[in-house]
Amino acid sequence: MLDFTILVNHFDMYWEGLKITIIASLIALIASFIIGAIVAVMRITPIALLRWFGTVYVEFFRNIPLVIIAFFFYIGTPALGIKFSGLEAGAIALSIYTSAFIAEAIRSGILSVSKGQMEAARSSGLTYIQTMRLIILPQAIKIVIPPIGNQFINLVKNSSILALIAGTDLMYQADLISAKTYVVFDVYIFVALFYLVLTVPLSLGVGYLEKRLANSY
């Protein structure tokens, strides 16, 4: 049986960790979406240099561990005179790492939009950026909402990386509680339940959007 006195006696620590996890996840969610959209456009632009940069960005950050990115911004950047807190370093790492996957999802959505729409928009006088912003991207994002939603769920779970860089998130607080109580199993089961509180609604929302989009075609 779970010892619920641990949850009751240390609820303030769990709550503090939950708030930090939510803050970091929201910041990274917004930033990763914006960065991912920009990189996705770079990957298909006619400008070779931008296309090369987008490809390198995606392949590099998608194929290295998240923890390395987090440690770079928390431990590495102070050597360059730039210091981030655990929360800031974690949010930046989550944003960069997740944006690489979102960029690929959006790129696939862009490629699924008929090329004729781009040609028609350009012939009507719109610039490449205007065409992307007003016509292509809205359609592409609608198509890839489910995979993007799944990446957001992964982002919330990956936010546990903050524990390794003193980000004071749920996992970090659990480590402190476990050290104080000498209890491991119960402490981390409660952490898992808090993560479920965050991820289950997201998962249900993604499933609902998938059904709505399937019915709209």
DSSP secondary structure of 20-83: HHHHHHHHHHHHHHHHHHHHHHHHH-S-HHHHHHHHHHHHHHHTS-HHHHHHIIIIIGGGGT--
- Residue 201: pLDDT over 80: yes
- Residue 187: pLDDT over 60: yes
- Residue 129's pLDDT is 83
Rounded distance between C-alpha atoms, residue 185 and residue 90, angstroms: 26
Environment class of 165 (CB within 10 Å of its CB; exposed 0-12, middle 13-18, buried 19+):
buried
**Closest by Cα among 96, 39, 102 to 70:** 96
- Residue 160: pLDDT over 70: yes
Do 169 and 163 contact (CB within 8 A), yes or no?
yes
pTM for the full model?
0.90
The count of other CB atoms within 10 Å of the CB of residue 198 is: 18
- Residue 196: pLDDT over 90: yes
Do 194 and 174 contact (CB within 8 A), yes or no?
no
- Residue 216's pLDDT is 62
Cα dihedral sign, 203-20-193-191: positive
- What digits encode the pLDDT tens for the residues 28-44? 999 999 999 999 999 99
- Phi and psi at residue 194, in whole multiples of 5°? -65, -40
- Residue 209's pLDDT is 80
In the chain, beta strands by DSSP E: none
Cα dihedral sign, 27-31-33-36: negative
Do 99 and 60 contact (CB within 8 A), yes or no?
no
- Could you tell me the pLDDT band of residue 68, with boundaries at 50, 70 and 90? very high
Domain 4-216: give its CATH superfamily: MetI-like (1.10.3720.10)
Q: What percent of the chain has pLDDT over 90?
A: 67
